[in-house]
């Protein structure tokens, strides 16, 4: 029974209340950038909860962006990136001459965000900005920084708020890390 109810403990890193407050602040920062004809592109699957909350906060901040989704994969069921980014589902929207905000859950190696940004830029976007929930301050495989981020994150594997471990824990309303016997030492 891996990760069974009795054997798992999750340490909260960022509470639901902290996330809500930070998203409102991010939305105001993004609205201040005055990006006309904004298209928000969420990278699935991990960013779907963050993207939904952020787009509602953007509406409250006075923006009416369109929304699309790009499904990329680099993890599979592992806790470390494979190093290869593949498109699972492409966007449907026309992006030529538009302002784009790419939303992702976490910036670690930089491969996924750089891949998405390069893809969108090559398709003729006017401006491409990036926003991530979590920014790990680690040496990246690709030189990229997010234009906006909610939290600096320690270098641990995180779950919750859309992020998963083998398709579990996405439903948690907070970001945490799974405490296992190995992580106690």
Q: What is the pLDDT of residues 42-65, one digit of tens each?
A: 999 999 999 999 999 999 999 999
Report the distance separating Cα 77 and Cα 115, nearest Å: 20
Beta strand residue intervals within the chain, DSSP E: 9-14, 38-44, 66-73, 86-89, 99-107, 127-136, 148-153, 175-179
User: Sign of dihedral through CA atoms 106, 112, 116, 117?
Assistant: positive
* pTM metric for this prediction: 0.89
pLDDT of residue 73: 84
Q: At what angle do helices 16-32 and 48-60 cross, to 10 degrees?
A: 50
Q: Would residue 25 count as lying in a domain?
A: yes
Q: Would residue 1 count as lying in a domain?
A: no
CA dihedral of residues 124, 64, 45, 145 (deg, nearest 10): 60
When pLDDT is cut at 50, 70 and 90, the band that residue 4 belongs to is: very low
Query: Domain containing 115 — which CATH number?
Result: 3.40.50.2020
pLDDT reading at 74 higher than 80: no
Q: Would residue 4 count as lying in a domain?
A: no
Report the distance separating Cα 97 and Cα 92, nearest Å: 15
Report the distance separating Cα 73 and Cα 80, nearest Å: 12
Number of domains the chain is built from? 1
Q: Kind of pairing, strands 86-89 and 66-73?
A: antiparallel
Domain span at 89: 9-76+83-180
pLDDT of residue 128: 98
Q: Would residue 140 count as lying in a domain?
A: yes
Express each pLDDT in 108-161 by its tens digit: 999 999 999 999 999 999 999 999 999 998 999 899 999 999 999 999 999 999
Q: Would residue 50 count as lying in a domain?
A: yes
Q: Would residue 185 count as lying in a domain?
A: no
pLDDT of residue 5: 44
pLDDT of residue 185: 46
């Amino acid at each position: 029974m891996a990760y069974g109810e009795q054997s798992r403990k999750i340490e909260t890193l960022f509470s639901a209340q902290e996330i809500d407050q930070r998203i409102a602040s991010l939305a105001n920062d993004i609205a201040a950038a005055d990006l006309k004809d904004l298209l928000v592109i969420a990278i699935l699957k991990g960013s779907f909860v963050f993207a939904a909350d952020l787009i509602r906060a953007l509406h409250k901040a006075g923006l009416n962006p369109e929304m699309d989704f790009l499904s990329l994969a680099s993890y599979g069921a592992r806790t470390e990136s494979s190093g290869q980014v593949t498109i699972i589902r492409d966007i449907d929207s026309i992006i030529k001459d538009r302002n784009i905000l790419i939303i992702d859950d976490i910036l670690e190696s930089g491969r996924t965000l750089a891949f998405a940004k390069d893809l969108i830029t090559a398709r003729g976007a006017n401006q491409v900005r990036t926003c991530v929930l979590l920014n790990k301050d680690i040496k990246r495989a690709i030189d990229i920084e997010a234009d906006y981020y909610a939290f600096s994150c320690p270098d641990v594997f995180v779950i919750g708020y859309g992020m998963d471990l083998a398709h579990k824990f996405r439903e948690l309303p907070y970001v945490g890390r799974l405490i296992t016997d190995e992580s106690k030492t």
